Amino acid sequence: MNTPTILIQHSLAAGEHSAPVTHIGQRIVWTIVTLAAMGGIYLLMWRGWKKRKARQSDLRPLNEVPAGAFSGEGFETVYVSTTSEGDWLDRIAVHGLGQRSNAQVHVAEAGVLIDREPTAVFIPAAAIRGIRLASGMAGKYLRGEGLVVITWQHGDRTLDTGVDPRHGTGELMSALEAHFAVSATERPSP
């Protein structure tokens, strides 16, 4: 006799059996339970986002972009999000400000234009309260300080808008500092 046959006979003689057959009914039930739990979690997340939008409905519409104020290519970035000042987890959900997207940032004397989909964000120069580097905010976290955060006044709210430059923060920060050499203490919030 060959060795595999001897091993099989030995295991059968010792009372060892093969693994039990998978029960398809149990698998279907657990699959349905798992899908229902995931669906419930997504429903709760969606309801939370809708309630956040309702709470922030008092935020006035975004500023109109002045005609002819911006030209050129701008800086290639990823728009991360806009949050309440100092609360990097309180993402603003209204007016499309909570949606991450690719963007071009244009800097001019009139202010800063973040040209993105679904809505362009124009920050007037007079509204800018500060410019800084950060390591993260709602939607994006980096190892170093790679996010450019612009603090600005919009109506009665002070907001932080963050962008992640694709080719480093140096050029964008230099352009912003050249046009808006202001710290948060020089232009206090009204």
DSSP 157: E
Contacts of 58 (CB under 8 A, 6+ apart): none
pLDDT at 186 over 60: no
For the residues 89-94, what does the mean pLDDT come to?
85
pLDDT at 1 over 60: no
Pick the closest to residue 105 from 79, 139, 134 (CA basis).
79
For the residues 159-164, what does the mean pLDDT come to?
91
pLDDT, residue 12, reads 60
Q: What average pLDDT does the structure give for the chain?
A: 82
Give the rounded percent of residues in the chain with a pLDDT score beyond 70.
Answer: 83
Check if CATH label 2.30.29.30 holds for domain 75-179: yes
Q: Which of 7-16, 51-60, 94-103 is least confident?
A: 7-16
pLDDT, residue 188, reads 40
Contacts of 64 (CB under 8 A, 6+ apart): 122
Contacts of 91-94 with C-beta under 8 Å, sequence gap 24+, read 91/52, 91/138, 91/139, 92/56, 92/59, 92/159, 93/49, 93/52, 93/53, 93/56, 94/53, 94/56, 94/57, 94/59
Give the pLDDT confidence of 127-145 residue by residue, as tens digits.
Answer: 998 898 888 887 777 777 7
Q: How confident is the model at residue 10 (pLDDT cuts 50, 70, 90)?
A: low
Spans of all domains in the chain:
21-55, 75-179
Instruction: Quote the CA–CA distance of 133 and 70 in Å, as a whole number.
Output: 24
pLDDT, residue 184, reads 39
